[in-house]
Amino acid sequence: MEAGIVGLPNVGKSTLFNALTSTQGAQAANYPFCTIEPNEGIVTVPDERLRRITNFIKPQKVIPTYLKLVDIAGIVKGASEGQGLGNKFLSHIRQVDAILQVVRCFEDDDVIHVAGKVDPVSDVETIETELMLADMQTLENALPKAERSAKSGDKEAKVRVAAIQRCQAHLAQDQPLRKLEMPPAEAKEIASYGLMSAKPILYIANVDESDLHGTGELASAVRVFAEKVGASVVPVCAKLEAELAELEEPDRSEMLESVGLAQPALSLVAREAYRTLGLQSYFTAGEKEVRAWPVPIGATAPQAAGVIHSDFERGFIRCEVYSLSDLEEFKSEKDIRQAGKLRTEGKTYVMQDGDICHFLFNV
Ligand SMILES: Nc1ncnc2c1ncn2[C@@H]1O[C@H](COP(=O)(O)OP(=O)(O)OP(=O)(O)O)[C@@H](O)[C@H]1O
Ligand SMILES: [Mg+2]
């Protein structure tokens, strides 16, 4: 699963990406279109439940989950018609599973804003519009071929035509596809189109150093907008986070304290991005390692086992599950078992966030 960082040019995307991935791979510089090729990086998803597990189970290694991030070039008005870097990087967005949109909420006359002034809601709308226009083009291009196949009796193509027309009607109402409900058979037919306004989105309000909690006017405006479209907002000062990421302890903690933050805002970004991707974690816990694994919300036990190894899914027999609160109450797996709290779950079990499991399988 992969999330793409998008936004207008020069809003702080690469600065954030660098801080998150703590690499200096992506060039961050004060001029628009600094980024041309997307940069990929891996971000740890901090989870304090891992530490709580290791209070009782002492492993050799603790392994958190990760997510993949791509730093994509800035989008400008008209991108869907080839403005700026146009369709080249729109195609990068088609490939990601979720969009993290960086929205400029800082004032700084030295940093150029492509639209000439800082107006976060207008920026968000500009990008949403470009994504929707690009989707309209994709659908328009796909329709004639689907119609020809449908006419010659292809049943799947008939469903595809219905799906395309349903999306077109929705976009014509000026609505992003994110909110469109569609029969699963139709959704499957158009999944490969990578329709961008259908992707889950998280807004990252890139705030001023003087407004770290995002209570100021600019970040608040983004929050009001996000509520309307059913998305979340995380306030982050990318510039400060980039500086923090370069520090070693104890300097980092000192700086955090001096600006009044309990933890780097990046932790929150990573966790929210993970959630936006529709992921939750389960854990495996033994003496060798305590490890968090990503699994889509709603996945069954065999699917969760498949995240570890495809053999685990194919040969799935059952799993044994307990919760962190069981562990904190009974102190060891043995005592959980003795208390009759170790649950045995079968193939249809739907995984719950934070389950601690063993999988039994046979291949
Ligand atoms: N919160 C902030 N406060 C003040 N300045 C910031 C903040 N975040 C980023 N900047 C500055 O904004 C400028 C642009 O940042 P960056 O290169 O990360 O933007 P970008 O969105 O990746 O641009 P491009 O679209 O050109 O790739 C840099 O000079 C950076 O230091
Ligand atoms: Mg950049």
Q: Which residue has the higher pLDDT, 27 or 39?
A: 39
228 annotated to a ligand binding site? no
- Please list, in sequence order, all residues whose beta carbon lies within 8 angstroms of the beta carbon of residue 100, skipping any fewer than 6 positions away: 3, 4, 5, 6, 69, 201, 202, 204, 269, 273, 276
Closest CA to 243 of 16, 11, 13, 73: 16
State pLDDT tens for residues 324-359.
Answer: 999 999 999 999 999 999 999 999 999 999 999 999
Cα-to-centroid distance, 40 and ligand 2 (Å)? 12
**Is residue 56, in this structure, part of any structural domain at all?**
no
- ipTM over the 0.95 cut-off: yes
Pocket of ligand 1 (CB under 6 A): 7, 9-15, 28-30, 32-35, 73-74, 106, 108, 111, 206, 208, 237-239
State pLDDT tens for residues 40-59.
Answer: 888 888 899 999 999 999 99
Computed over every residue of the chain, the mean pLDDT equals 90
Q: Phi first, then psi: what are they for 37, rounded to 5°? A: -90, 140
Ligand (nearest to CA of 34) = 1
Average pLDDT over residues 240-265: 90
Using DSSP, state whether 248 is helix, strand or coil. Answer: coil
**Ligand 1 binding pocket mutation candidate from 5, 6, 14 (most atoms within 8 A of CB):** 14
pLDDT of residue 25: 44
* pLDDT range class, residue 89, cuts 50, 70, 90: low
341 exposure class (CB count in 10 Å sphere: 0-12, 13-18, 19+): middle
Cα-to-centroid distance, 73 and ligand 2 (Å)? 6
Which uninterrupted H or E stretch holds 305? Answer: helix 301-308
pLDDT of residue 328: 96
Q: Phi first, then psi: what are they for 122, rounded to 5°? A: -65, -40
Residue 325 sits in the same domain as residue 261? no
CATH of the domain at 249: 3.40.50.300
Does the pLDDT of residue 95 top 60, yes or no? yes
**Is residue 149, in this structure, part of any structural domain at all?**
yes
Cα-to-centroid distance, 298 and ligand 2 (Å)? 35
Range of the domain at 158: 129-192
CATH of the domain at 170: 1.10.150.300
Atom 11 (ligand 1) nearest CA: 12
**Is residue 57, in this structure, part of any structural domain at all?**
no
| Alpha carbon distance 156, 185 (integer Å) | 9
Residue 11 sits in the same domain as residue 136? no
Residue 213 sits in the same domain as residue 116? yes
CB 64 within 8 A of CB 297: no
What are the beta bridge partners of residue 201? 99
Residue 168 sits in the same domain as residue 304? no
pLDDT of residue 18: 87
Q: Are strands 232-236 and 201-207 parallel, antiparallel or unpaired?
A: parallel
| Alpha carbon distance 179, 314 (integer Å) | 35
**Is residue 9, in this structure, part of any structural domain at all?**
yes
306 annotated to a ligand binding site? no
Here the tokens at position 76 are 């400008």
Here the tokens at position 224 are 């009001």
Q: Phi first, then psi: what are they for 319, rounded to 5°? A: -135, 155
Cα-to-centroid distance, 208 and ligand 1 (Å)? 12
Average pLDDT over residues 70-87: 70
CB 28 within 8 A of CB 95: no
14 annotated to a ligand binding site? yes
Cα-to-centroid distance, 39 and ligand 2 (Å)? 9
- Please list, in sequence order, all residues whose beta carbon lies within 8 angstroms of the beta carbon of residue 325, skipping any fewer than 6 positions away: none
Residue 75 sits in the same domain as residue 138? no
Ligand (nearest to CA of 39) = 2
* pLDDT range class, residue 15, cuts 50, 70, 90: very high
Atom 1 (ligand 1) nearest CA: 237
**Ligand 1 binding pocket mutation candidate from 70, 111, 213, 222 (most atoms within 8 A of CB):** 111
CB 211 within 8 A of CB 108: no
Average pLDDT over residues 26-38: 58
**Which one of 146, 165, 192 terminates a domain?**
192
- Mean pLDDT check: name the lowest of 67-81, 212-226, 232-246, 257-271: 67-81
- Please list, in sequence order, all residues whose beta carbon lies within 8 angstroms of the beta carbon of residue 247, skipping any fewer than 6 positions away: 255
Residue 268 sits in the same domain as residue 339? no
Q: What is the number of the ligand 1 atom nearest to the C-alpha of 26?
A: 22
**Ligand 1 binding pocket mutation candidate from 92, 239, 246, 269 (most atoms within 8 A of CB):** 239
Atom 23 (ligand 1) nearest CA: 10
What would you measure as the largest C-alpha separation in the chain, in angstroms?
70
Atom 17 (ligand 1) nearest CA: 28
Ranges of beta strands (E only) in 262-324 are: 279-285, 289-296, 316-322
**Is residue 134, in this structure, part of any structural domain at all?**
yes
**Is residue 226, in this structure, part of any structural domain at all?**
yes
Using DSSP, state whether 244 is helix, strand or coil. Answer: helix
Domain count, the chain: 3
**Which one of 192, 216, 231 terminates a domain?**
192
CB 293 within 8 A of CB 282: yes
Residue 121 sits in the same domain as residue 133? no
Average pLDDT over residues 3-17: 91
Residue 137 sits in the same domain as residue 181? yes
**Which one of 275, 290, 307 terminates a domain?**
275
Residue 97 sits in the same domain as residue 203? yes
Cis previous bond, 46, omega within 30: no
* pLDDT range class, residue 191, cuts 50, 70, 90: very high
Residue 304 sits in the same domain as residue 350? yes
CATH of the domain at 304: 3.10.20.30
**Is residue 281, in this structure, part of any structural domain at all?**
no
**Is residue 237, in this structure, part of any structural domain at all?**
yes
Residue 98 sits in the same domain as residue 180? no
Atom 12 (ligand 1) nearest CA: 12
Cα-to-centroid distance, 236 and ligand 1 (Å)? 12
Residue 232 sits in the same domain as residue 109? yes
344 annotated to a ligand binding site? no
Of how many residues is the chain composed?
Answer: 363
